[in-house]
Amino acid sequence: MAAREVRSDSPTAPPTGRIDEARAEQLRAANINPRTGLATDYLNHFNEAIMLLEMVPDMPECAEDFLTWTPLSYAEHFWASNFKARDLAIEAYECADPKIRANFDNLTATMTSILTAVGNAMREAQQDKTRATLAEQATAWVKPLVALAGGVINGSVEGDVESVMSG
């Protein structure tokens, strides 16, 4: 049986799930973890929302800025960004180990759900104090999830939403 040839310029990882060193270097150069196929750049999407929420208690007008935040999927984030290797980031995500990607997607879906719910509650809130309380609570919930998602991206932890949310 002949060995399958894997070219380093091939756009997808070989079916074994292993990638050759040239491909790994291409991913590393683009700030994409070759072991997980994920890029930390996506977390900037959530860090932006956190930054805006952190300003709300001291500057209530920042709530309006937070309310313009729009949830984006991994691919949508990269399509809308100026990330140089956006096509590679999207492709690497699509080729990522399904277990890692499901874990990551669960974390990002939870963050998106929290931020969306807080946005809806802020739209209903009549008082700045209520908005500030919502912002503080959302930040307390989402920040640890961003850190956990970063660990998944870097291949150092498995994200467990339930343990973070109960802790």
Going from the first residue of the chain to its last (167 residues), give the mean pLDDT of each consecutive group of 10, the final group possibly shorter.
38 51 91 95 97 97 95 96 93 95 97 98 96 97 97 78 48
Per the rule left: phi > 0, alpha: psi between -120 and 50, beta: everything else, 70 is beta
Q: What is the pTM for the complete model shown?
A: 0.81
Closest by CA to 142, choosing from 49, 41, 38, 40, is 49
* Token pair for 69: 């935040």
